[in-house]
Chain A
Amino acid sequence: MAAAMMSLEAVTKIYAGGPPWSRMQVVAVKSIDLAVAEGETLALVGESGSGKTTLGRLCLGLIEPSRGRVLLEGQSFASLRGRLRGRLSAVLQHPQSSLDPRRRVGASVIEPLRIGGQTSRRDAERRGAEMLARVGLDPSFAERYPHELSGGQRQRVAIARALVTTPRFILFDEAVSALDVSVQAQVLNLIKTLQQEIRFAALFITHDLAAARYVASRVAVMFRGEIVDLVPARELYGTATHDYTRQLQRASGLEESAVAPGAQGETQP
């Protein structure tokens, strides 16, 4: 078993809720322990408001935990400070809003390298072209603007950009939810292939259980700030043992109850 790349130790995040003068508190994430190994994709499923996105932001160090620690390769975020940049990255749901509309695709892809400041323009450009090829885009795409691209192509660009610094951990937050069925398959397969090659650790946040079990090796089910079930993805091809997980299976049409009306009950004499 590979060492944990990203780990959360008893992490709790509490937000102040209600009007500023009230003392209402919202516990978005409730003392969670979780580890993602090198080369592993862990999927995180749950409905809106369950705390998935908060957990993702904690993993990126965008917010600090109220209690507990977040560690990258065993080192706490607090001790890593500036060295976190380039080691963590993210692919979000809407690539049309996460890519700068006035910047050519090529420039967007290498921006993280340029910000890091350690790569010369020429090296960055070479690396950018390499990344575009990796995600299956022709070099000519570097000269285009995001609005000239289809949804699937934009998401490929977002993935190239996320990978350009060779991060150790990538967050995919609803990265395929907005895509068409067939394009979804392309992007999911791309993520699987790239992970085998590059061995990053990934947290794949989604509300779609079908995509989760396809792309991940383990699936964590979140409900009201807690992880209520953590199972190997393979087990979700049968009927889950946990009640809430089963409910999600049914809702995603993964259970046989979802077959067309009229086809039910035929097995019974």
Chain B
Amino acid sequence: MTPALEVRALVMEYASRRGRFRAVDGVDFSVQPGEAIGIVGESGSGKSTLGAAIGRLPIPGVRRVAGDILIDGRAIFDLEEPTLRALRQSELGFVFQDPIRWLDPTMKVGRQVAGVLEQPSDRGTVEQLLESVGLPDAEHVAGRYPHELSGGMAQRAAIGMAIARRPKIIVADEPTAALDASIKGQILDLLVSRCAAFRTVLLLLSHDLSAIRRCTQRVLVMYGGRIVESGETATVLSKPKHPYTSALLRSAVGREAPGGRVEPIPGAPTAFSARQEACAFAPRCAFAVERCRSSRPEPRRFRDRDVTCHRADEAEALDLEGTHHGRRNDEP
């Protein structure tokens, strides 16, 4: 089966006043139709650059240095502008963090929705689509401007627009970061169910581990522009093998024991100007040894996952969990 999405040795750079930096430093993965994949990482891990690259969305200063992205077997960097536009319209959908800012402020929601539909459509289809994303009072919503909607409603409308043409892939970049905790779950469930209905790939980019757990079967953990660990979500997030994954899990509130402390990851991520010839996480890693600082780790395949770490085969012996990592499930 042709993968719905294939990313091959992708390298992306961005230019800033202080020079060029690598946002994505050699990323490989492929996704089958209908899969729900999470990409997790902190700000600066490269996940948003990667997400935007999938639609070749222009970000000022960002360019591809090497590698390819294939959608349904077609290399998108070779496409002419009109073909690319057609591909974005029919095969791709994007959902971003702040729907109210992302929607056109000068146009009523109904008109914007009609704009993405295949047929120059009548009001009925627009309302049907809005109803399908859980906006029962579709007629009312269609007649509003984005700023007149709540964040949750606007995000529902944005999801409706992203899914309208039954695309192959939906890229959702922190779709719930700007929303209230009480409606986050509903929005995530909506995304998952709409994607499942059309066998659309869901690529969920987030630093919210509970969202990734809730929505995805497979997870890619990114750090310093590379995938450091990937595998089944439940496995990777319950028994991490990469020190970064483990540190990230231990720093998140929500899984600590009552009265326990979360441990922030020491230091801060650094930006790199060229291909890294060492492990990007080494400066912050509690388990780093000489070889981590002097040679670039390559992804290694294990039974249930891939890990990009020099010490991956010692992972079990390393006590990644830390001694006082109390997870609720382990409570007596």
Binds A, one of B51-59, B263-271, B275-283, B317-325: B263-271
**A150 vs B267: C-alpha distance in the bound complex, in angstroms?**
12
Closest to B254 in A: A210
**A237 vs B253: C-alpha distance in the bound complex, in angstroms?**
12
- Asked if B181 is an interface residue, CB under 8 A from chain A, the answer is yes
A182 touches B42 (CB 8 A): yes
Using known A-B contacts A181-B251, A188-B262, A209-B181, determine if residue A252 contacts B210 with beta carbons closer than 8 Å.
yes
User: What residues on A are CB-neighbors of B265 within 8 Å?
Assistant: 182, 185
B211 touches A48 (CB 8 A): no
Binds B, one of A5-13, A83-91, A108-116, A255-263: A255-263
B253 touches A188 (CB 8 A): yes
Using known A-B contacts A185-B262, A185-B263, A253-B254, determine if residue A263 contacts B234 with beta carbons closer than 8 Å.
yes
Closest to A233 in B: B258
Using known A-B contacts A181-B207, A181-B252, determine if residue A251 contacts B183 with beta carbons closer than 8 Å.
yes
- Asked if A250 is an interface residue, CB under 8 A from chain B, the answer is yes
User: What residues on A are CB-neighbors of B254 within 8 Å?
Assistant: 210, 252-254
Q: Among B151, B185, B237, which residue has its beta carbon within 8 angstroms of that of A251?
A: B185
Closest to A176 in B: B253
Q: Among A182, A189, A258, which residue has its beta carbon within 8 angstroms of that of B213?
A: A258
B213 touches A186 (CB 8 A): no
B234 touches A260 (CB 8 A): yes
User: What residues on A are CB-neighbors of B328 within 8 Å?
Assistant: 237
Using known A-B contacts A180-B42, A185-B253, determine if residue A214 contacts B262 with beta carbons closer than 8 Å.
yes
User: What residues on B are CB-neighbors of A263 within 8 Å?
Assistant: 234
**A18 vs B258: C-alpha distance in the bound complex, in angstroms?**
45
- Asked if B122 is an interface residue, CB under 8 A from chain A, the answer is no
A208 touches B209 (CB 8 A): no
Q: Among B43, B211, B237, B256, which residue has its beta carbon within 8 angstroms of that of A180?
A: B43
Q: Among A45, A182, A234, which residue has its beta carbon within 8 angstroms of that of B264?
A: A182
- Asked if B184 is an interface residue, CB under 8 A from chain A, the answer is yes
Nearest-neighbour CB distance to chain A for B189, whole angstroms, equals 11
Contacting B at CB under 8 A, from A161-188, are 180-186, 188
A259 touches B234 (CB 8 A): yes
A182 touches B251 (CB 8 A): yes
Contacting B at CB under 8 A, from A129-175, are 150-152
**A259 vs B328: C-alpha distance in the bound complex, in angstroms?**
13
User: What residues on A are CB-neighbors of B49 within 8 Å?
Assistant: none
- Asked if B214 is an interface residue, CB under 8 A from chain A, the answer is yes
Using known A-B contacts A150-B268, A251-B184, determine if residue A214 contacts B256 with beta carbons closer than 8 Å.
yes
**A170 vs B210: C-alpha distance in the bound complex, in angstroms?**
29
Q: Among A181, A254, A262, which residue has its beta carbon within 8 angstroms of that of B234?
A: A262
**A180 vs B265: C-alpha distance in the bound complex, in angstroms?**
11
What are 25 A-B residue pairs whose CB atoms fall within 8 Å in the complex? A45-B181, A47-B182, A152-B268, A180-B42, A180-B43, A181-B209, A182-B248, A182-B265, A184-B253, A185-B251, A185-B265, A188-B262, A189-B262, A207-B180, A214-B262, A237-B328, A250-B185, A251-B181, A251-B185, A253-B213, A253-B254, A260-B216, A261-B217, A262-B217, A262-B234
Name B residues whose Cβ lies closer than 8 Å to a Cβ of A.
Answer: 42-43, 150-151, 180-185, 207-211, 213-214, 216-217, 233-234, 237, 247-248, 251-254, 256-259, 261-265, 268, 328
Given contacts A181-B207, A207-B181, A252-B184, 19 further A-B contacts (CB under 8 A): A47-B180, A180-B42, A181-B248, A182-B42, A182-B248, A182-B265, A183-B42, A189-B261, A233-B258, A237-B257, A247-B182, A253-B210, A258-B185, A260-B214, A260-B234, A260-B237, A261-B217, A262-B234, A263-B234
